[in-house]
Chain A
Amino acid sequence: MSRRHPFLLLVLARMRELMREPEVVFWVFIFPILLAVGLGIAFRNKPPDEIVVGVVDTAGSGPILAALTPAGGFAVEAVSAPEAAKRLRLGKVSLVVVPGARYEYRYDPTRPDSVLARQKVHDALQRAAGRADPIEVTETLITEPGARYIDFLIPGLLGMNIMSGGMWGVGFLLVDMRTRKLLKRLIATPMRRSDFLGAIMTSRILLVLAEMVLLLVFGRVIFHLVIQGSLWTITLLAILGAFVFAGLGLLVASRTARIETASGLMNLVMLPMFVFSGIFFSSDRFPAAVRPFVKALPLTALNDALRAAILEGADLPSQIGRILVMLAWGVLAFVVALRIFRWN
């Protein structure tokens, strides 16, 4: 008879349950890859699109049309004045040029493409009219991995998965076990509660590590992601993240008796971090006034730390601030959760 330690059997049971659940396999392994592929394609780095310019079709439009050639990167539409206004409003053209004694540029200064179009069109028109540039320049073009959107995205996806995996994989799991009276059944055995919680933590960490390897290998192979930092640093950060969000999951589950309440609470916890913590875009975009709060969120700390490690090769000591933020959340969540946790 092979007698094994209850802790090992609990981990084994947890991993078996996870792997036998098609939804889990999808959300944990396939979803982040799909997201990376989708967003990686949508936001792939490519030469700027041609600049679409509307020219109001009246007397005097001839020289303008001649100056804005396709070779210069322009796509020109000669349209009536009302049509031009409409196309500008709908964003079909970046800029409208109205011919006349003095050319008029119509554009929205808050649209980056319009601002760019205004510069390019202005240059092209002035040069065509005979302007000479007094300084000669040469241009060296550099496109480096590490600065692309997909490079930004992959650490963010890893952080996001560590968060939702921890919340669902611990919080939802425990509430589900409570509603099924399985928690009660387990504490009616001599099972050590530390074995039980430790096994859940361990299975979370194993899953996070599998996700991490998958995402990094995928990013490396498909998108030529360059991993600057040491794998040890990245691994330790991922484990720390798993610990923090397992703690928050445990806290959400500590007294909740209904699945619906648990889902609501988890969304309440996760939604702000989905928005603020820099998964899909940098959290630096938020105004300076709210940035301290954003930086204090555990997922912001995790995402920033993973990004610094993966993209910039930062080591652990240089990220001590972020690590302390995460530790504070994790320890606080565990201490409170274990104090108020309801087993029956």
Chain B
Amino acid sequence: MDIAIRCRDLRKVYDGKPPVEAVRGLDLEVRSGECFGLLGPNGAGKTTTVEILEGILDPTGGEVEVLGLRWSGDHAGLRERIGVSLQETRLSEKLTVEETLELFGSFYRKGRPAAAVMEEVGLTEKRRAWVMKLSGGQRQRLAVACALVGDPDLLFLDEPTTGLDPQSRRSLWDIIRDLRRRGRTTLLTTHYMDEAERLCDRVAVVDHGKVIALGTPAELIASLRGEHVVEFAVNGDAGAGAGAPGDSGGGSIAGAPAATPAPLDPQSLLGVSSVKSARAESGSILLTVDEPHVAIPALLERLGREGHSLSRLTTRHASLEDVFVALTGRHLRDE
């Protein structure tokens, strides 16, 4: 299998006081024809990594090979073969969509006609509109179109849907899936776990400048050893620490000096059948479980036995977000 991108022990330190270590020994291998996602919170080093791979930034250390070539070797040749959409590029406001694409197309030896690319990203109707008149989603589609106009072998999309409304995101996803179907290699970065899950063949989870997990979305979720999440809260515990049990005391009998059950320790639930992991989070307890139909009755029985009354319970499929939280203890969007 062809390797489109390979990097070893990639490092980047930005000068400053103090110097910022954006990438700290990152290894990556992207295969030809796959859609590969770099998933991580803001500041994880995704953009720095991508810009090094794109030949825009020089790494402080490590080795980079793109399409089997090195940036120091065949810069011009490599430029012809990659397409780039940077995070938040503001293209010239007073050029039309068509003019912009013709301009970008002219830079490539095998540039494609603007019309074909506009068709591909659904901007044909807007061909004569100035960039300043486009909506956020249309601008982003134009940015992707500028990356496609050189007919690249490898496509880099840095946060292609950040800040877009759900409908615009979905229309961009369609475009990216379409590229995937036609066998183009795509590297995209995102801090949206649903985006990575839906679009990417494989995902590298990046945190603090390193890859902390790698695999298909399904593999990563399976690594939780439970593909479902059961999230619940019990009375008394919901406000644990805040000392306001009265707020959630719907089920308890007021005035009864009955023994308040001991606060629930998430780790004590690991014994419940089918529960693979447990953690507390903002007043709730989250369990990852193999089989909800086994775990939930067992859980209810256990809570009843210990005198906890349930105030809320939901279940859902585990997501890459859960993977990230399991790995780092933080949420993707925390920072």
Contacts and interface: CB of A to CB of B under 8 A. Distances in A.
A188 B82 CA distance: 9
B106 A17 contact: no
A101 interface: no
Interface in B95-122: 95, 99, 102-104, 106-109, 111, 113
Given A16-B94, A190-B107, A344 B89 contact: no
Contacts of B102: 4, 9
A3 B110 CA distance: 10
Given A184-B89, A185-B86, A190-B80, A21 B107 contact: no
Interface in A147-198: 180-182, 184-185, 187-191
Nearest to A192: B107
A1 interface: yes
Interface in B206-265: none
B180 interface: no
B134 to A, nearest CB: 15
Contacts of A4: 102, 106
Interface in A1-42: 1, 3-6, 9-10, 13, 16-17, 20-21
Contact of A190 (B51, B89, B108): B108
B111 A3 contact: yes
B20 interface: no
Contacts of A3: 106, 111
Contacts of B89: 180-182, 184-185
B90 interface: yes
Contacts of B56: 184, 187-188, 344
Contact of B84 (A13, A180, A185): A185
A190 B79 contact: yes
B92 A17 contact: yes
A181 B56 CA distance: 12
A16 B107 contact: no
A9 B106 contact: yes
B1 interface: no
B300 interface: no
B306 interface: no
A184 B106 contact: no
Given A20-B94, A182-B91, A188 B86 contact: yes
Contact of A182 (B76, B90, B150): B90
Interface string A328-344: 00000000000000001
A9 B103 contact: yes
Contacts of A182: 89-92
Contact of B54 (A10, A181, A188, A191): A188
Nearest to B93: A17
A190 B74 CA distance: 12
B57 A344 contact: yes
B99 A191 contact: no
- For A3, A13, A189, A190, the residue with the greatest tally of chain B CB atoms inside 10 Å of its CB is A189
A10 to B, nearest CB: 7
A11 B86 CA distance: 24
Interface string A114-155: 000000000000000000000000000000000000000000
Contacts of B90: 180-182
Contact of B88 (A181, A187, A344): A181
Contacts of A191: 107
A3 B104 CA distance: 12
Nearest to B96: A16
Contacts of A185: 84, 86, 89, 91, 146
Contacts of B88: 181
A326 B99 CA distance: 36
A190 to B, nearest CB: 4
Counting chain A CB atoms within 10 Å of each CB, the highest count among B55, B88, B102, B146 belongs to B102
Contacts of A190: 76, 79-80, 107-109, 150
A90 to B, nearest CB: 52
A161 B42 CA distance: 45
Q: Which residue among B57, B84, B92, B107 has the maximum number of chain A CB atoms within 10 Å of its CB?
A: B107
Quick one: which of B88, B103, B106 has the most chain A CB within 10 A?
B106
A189 B91 contact: no
A16 B130 CA distance: 11
Nearest to B82: A188
A188 B84 contact: yes
A6 B94 contact: no
B86 A184 contact: yes
Nearest to A5: B106
A10 B99 contact: no
A17 B107 contact: no
Contacts of A181: 86-90
Given A13-B103, A16-B99, A189 B108 contact: yes
Contact of A17 (B80, B87, B95, B104): B95
A9 B109 CA distance: 14
A13 B107 contact: no
Contacts of B130: 20
Nearest to B113: A1
Nearest to A189: B107
A13 B91 CA distance: 12
Given A4-B102, A188-B79, 16 more contacts: A9-B102, A10-B103, A13-B103, A16-B95, A17-B94, A17-B95, A181-B86, A181-B89, A182-B91, A184-B56, A184-B89, A188-B54, A189-B104, A189-B108, A190-B107, A191-B107
21 contacts: A3-B106, A6-B107, A9-B102, A13-B92, A13-B99, A16-B94, A16-B99, A17-B95, A20-B130, A21-B94, A180-B89, A180-B90, A181-B88, A181-B89, A181-B90, A185-B86, A185-B89, A185-B146, A188-B56, A188-B79, A189-B107
Shortest 9 CB-CB distances between A and B: which pairs? A180-B90, A190-B79, A20-B94, A188-B84, A6-B106, A191-B107, A189-B107, A185-B89, A9-B106
Interface of A: 1, 3-6, 9-10, 13, 16-17, 20-21, 180-182, 184-185, 187-191, 344
Interface of B: 51, 54-57, 76, 79-80, 82, 84, 86-92, 94-95, 99, 102-104, 106-109, 111, 113, 130, 146, 150
